[in-house]
Amino acid sequence: MTGLERGPERAGRPVGALAWTDCGGGFECATLRVPLAHRRPGEQVGIAVIRLPASGGAGERIGSLVVNPGGPGASGVEYARAARVVLGAEVRKRFDVVGFDPRGVGRSAPVECLSDAELDAFVALDGTPDTAGERLALEEGAKRFAEGCRRRSGRLLPHLGTVDVARDLDLLRQALGERRLTYLGKSYGTLLGAVYASLFPARVRAMVLDGALDPGGSRVRLGVEQAAGFERALRAYAEDCLAAGGCPFRSRTVGGAVQEVSGLLRRADERPLRGDGRRRVTQAVAVLGLLGPLYDRALWPELTETLRRAFQGDGALLLRNADQLTGRHDDGTYSNETEANMAVNCADGPHPRQPATYGRNAAAARERAPRFGPYLVWSSLPCAYWPHPPARGPLTAKGAAPILVIGTERDPATPYAWARRLAGELGSGVLLRYRGDGHTAYSSGSRCVDEVVEEYLVAGVAPEDGAVCPGIG
């Protein structure tokens, strides 16, 4: 990988000013023009931007708060449209809430790789190959994905890494008229924030990184650790379900319950479950259908009904959950979230180039995370065929203002250890530990977390490094 090459922190020049227009619900929208290649300004791409003006008066407004929901591939525009739900009233009073679709995502020069029908086939591929034929099919599917991205979006692919997006973010900061950046990033948005802070440490005013990604390591290793997080979440769900009653499990123990889930996945591998009348639920789709509700404790009752029906051979709810996770709409079309997710992850790397490496790691992952490990390792296989090398270096953010990093103890998608690593790697990282469940902590029901985050954003007061917020429920 190449380094981040901060240089003397010269600011790039926005290609065009923001011309705000009303786009409904009290929001204003604009397009920011940025260079496709920051090192060779010339061709431009448009970045979709939205803002909700601060609700307070002129004397109360602090500035702009830029938000990113993660993914990579999730729309920052749509996330900002939910500002009245995902941000506290005091934050909305003091800041214009600004969201943007990163390059390659949504309305910002979206990367395209496959047709809707081809995406259906790709998602349904056996993601835990047991035979030479299944492995060959998975490899061919991964090659088709990578080749489709090259053929349809070749000019974009070399410029979709997080370093490129961070430079766009600095142009957005300038276009908003902000001397320094105030930022809230969740999940992948934490990596974007960390890269920004490493490139432009003196331009950070306040930065919340919630549900932190591990800043180092290969996609394969991160896949194994993420799978272990989902295993912990599955066991936590089963424990909660058995304690509350009304569970779909025959077993009365957590170990027995998760083994029933294993049995369900084996049956789907041997004979796909009923789906929506057109698509059947393969093992890969079933895994996705389980992962979705494990992201959020509030979705556990939904998971109970999903499993109840799946144990009876009806995979319709699993299919619905998988569609939500992959960005498939009811009419059979897809958002580009799946394609953007793969493209950004492959651009950031590092990743093995030999399929055999994935196979060995998948076998090892089965020991640590038997239900989810092999699938999440193999899911990065298109990166083995990616036409461009990864380009991201170490993170430091030396000299930046205190950066608040939040880790949830039983976060299924971004394990707590990742937050600890990121806070340690950032020169000014301050770690807040939340003893709870679910993916990300702010605005998820913890009054303690919400108060810490909002005092930090508004007043710039960071908690003591290593502070702890108790869980709820």
Count CB-CB contacts under 10 A for residue 469.
21
Among left, alpha and beta (phi > 0; psi -120 to 50; other), residue 432 is beta
Examine residue 350 and say whether the peptide bond preceding it is cis (omega within 30 degrees of 0).
yes
Q: Are 83 and 53 in contact (CB under 8 A)?
A: no
How do the residues of the chain divide into helix, strand and coil, expressed in percent and rounded to 5?
45, 15, 40
Catalytic residue among 64, 153, 187, 446: 187
Spatial separation of the C-alpha atoms in residues 351 and 272, rounded to whole Å: 31
Q: Tell me which residue of 272, 235, 227, 223 sits closest to 370, measured CA to CA.
A: 227
Through-space distance between the first and last CA atoms of the chain, rounded to whole angstroms: 44
Task: Spot the catalytic one: 120, 214, 411, 437.
Answer: 411
- Give 176-230 as a DSSP string: TT-SSEEEEEETHHHHHHHHHHHH-GGGEEEEEEESPPPSSS-HHHHHHHHHHHH
Residue 411 annotated among the catalytic residues of the structure: yes
Q: Which of 380, 439, 444, 450 is catalytic?
A: 439
DSSP helix/strand/coil, 468: strand
Task: Give CA–CA dist 258/231, Å, rounded.
Answer: 9
DSSP 62: -
Q: Omega into 72 within 30° of 0, i.e. cis?
A: yes
Please choose, from the candidates 46, 42, 18, the residue with its C-alpha nearest in 3D space to the C-alpha of residue 168: 46
SS3 label, residue 97? strand
The reply to whether 55 belongs to the active site is no
The answer to whether 120 and 97 have CB atoms below 8 angstroms apart is no
Catalytic positions, written as ranges: 187, 411, 439
